Structure 1
């Protein structure tokens, strides 16, 4: 490998790790934010802050806003937005280690969908990776078959829809500007947030005495207690995604994607330091298994 290529790979790894560190920190503040506003209001107001930042990326020459195939970008945006709805709901309901473990089942779902729906052939290593990843999910989420709680499926749904979004990106959105894809996601999330807020205002889902949850809380005003955390999420997300984009531009995607799993270190570590969220030994082992599974799938996909 040439020196310049090595430099690019090191820079890409550094950018991806930095992006995951940012995400690992800001996503820990969803649970405190959920005490003040609901899921739909959060997505709408966050998009209002994020979209001007995305526009600035286009203005400085990092990509065009207009997609080449609107329907493909819209489909991809809907799938990723659905994934984020499940993921942020999970963040408000459970420790970040469990939410991240569910989201990062996406490489396993990508492999299963590629085999089942797209009829691609895989080898023994990637079959082993799927089994290892499933073991990791069980260790992190620790579902009790005697007292099954459907909430453990919420982060796994996030991973499933994220996988569909990734497959759509690869198969239908080749050649699209990353800024266009990013703008499509934010517009979709903002629109879904607005529609959800209106729907809950017309048809409230809580009565007097009911417990208000993140996903069924109607519009709250004023939102000043939550505003700093919403701005933190908007700015942090755009900065992190920018670094992710740059990392994938600098080096081979199968090499760069391995470093995404560092968020499973940063997220739980910050949760433990800042909020005292414990991570058990079996959960640590499960995180390692999911990370190894994703790494094997990435390396064997070269």
Structure 2
């Protein structure tokens, strides 16, 4: 029975990664229709009712245990995701995703800095390996570093910090409450920022003012919202029935799916160094997951 549940959890995690990487490939198309803040505002407006309905149908509680803590967690994770989506306006999904999936590396480093935890040699090696893989995939021009060069890694930093807050502050909160908190926060921030950029317009994805929504924009945004809700539901179920360590490893398939979808949808190819980077990041994730599992098992046996 446990083997069957593990297999189901793995398939759910793979499906969630495939859906997320698919819909994220269309953010560049969204950027041709409207700016980041308008996109995120409409995305949140579409997603929130869907999440509430999904929670009711699945019998999931939406009760918030500690409002202040879930609010802080929502703000931190939302910053990471907004930076990630801003990156998608100019970078391929696999490159922006490499930064977001550097979050376990930041979690390990923050655990040492903030909580004085000892991470061991294997975890240290995995952190270095994962960072090297992220650089292989991002391939920054060290002679001409720009804000865009470091944005994906900044997304990973905030997302990783958010995952730490999830573990230490929000362990008693339901997965649906956490998801709703993020979409609600993103919606509020996007509304405020949309007013700002409309009053002070620019020409980039992040600074584009309000534009009359086109049919294409609405359909692309609805696709994003529906896909995100499906993916959140699938990954929540995967973590519910499967081993969290194993599920987290399968989430790294996002980077592989992102490259595959980019080729299928747009004919965009991924070079050899980037593929090596993907393999290195996945290997790093497996090492970190196994190291964390051994640490957890050792603590349980005491």
TM-score by length of 2: 0.95
- How far is 1:205 from its partner? 3.2
Name the CA distance, whole Å, in 1 between partners of 2:89 and 2:231.
Answer: 21
Runs of 4 or more, structure 1, over 4 Å off, are none
Name the CA distance, whole Å, in 1 between partners of 2:56 and 2:265.
Answer: 37
Of the candidates 256, 271, 277, which is equivalent to residue 268 of structure 2?
A: 277
Q: Deviation digits for residues 103-160 of structure 1, max 9, x if unmatched?
A: 1000100000001111111111111101111211221122222222231101111100
The yes-or-no answer on 1:105 pairing with 2:102 is yes
Name the CA distance, whole Å, in 1 between partners of 2:196 and 2:287.
Answer: 43
Which secondary structure does the structure 2 equivalent of 1:147 belong to?
A: coil
- Structure 2 counterpart of 1:172: 169
- Structure 2 counterpart of 1:209: none
Q: Deviation digits for residues 266-293 of structure 1, max 9, x if unmatched?
A: 1111101211222110111011111111
The yes-or-no answer on 1:205 pairing with 2:201 is yes
- Structure 2 counterpart of 1:24: 21
**Shift in CA distance, 58/143, structure 1 to aligned 2, threshold 3 Å:** closer
The yes-or-no answer on 1:287 pairing with 2:278 is yes
Give unpaired runs (5+ residues) of structure 1: 207-211
Name the CA distance, whole Å, in 2 between partners of 1:161 and 1:14.
Answer: 28
Give unpaired runs (5+ residues) of structure 2: 294-302
The yes-or-no answer on 1:130 pairing with 2:127 is yes
2:34–2:213: 8 Å Cα contact kept in structure 1? no
1:24–1:263: 8 Å Cα contact kept in structure 2? yes
- Structure 2 counterpart of 1:78: 75
Report how many residues are paired. 293
1:62–1:179: 8 Å Cα contact kept in structure 2? no
- How far is 1:188 from its partner? 0.4
- How far is 1:61 from its partner? 4.3
Name the CA distance, whole Å, in 2 between partners of 1:62 and 1:110.
Answer: 32
- Structure 2 counterpart of 1:42: 39
The yes-or-no answer on 1:219 pairing with 2:210 is yes
Using the TM superposition, name which of 22-31 and 222-231 deviates more: 222-231
Name the CA distance, whole Å, in 2 between partners of 1:226 and 1:166.
Answer: 31
2:19–2:231: 8 Å Cα contact kept in structure 1? yes
1:133–1:293: 8 Å Cα contact kept in structure 2? yes
Taking only aligned residues, the RMSD between alpha carbons, in angstroms, comes to: 1.1
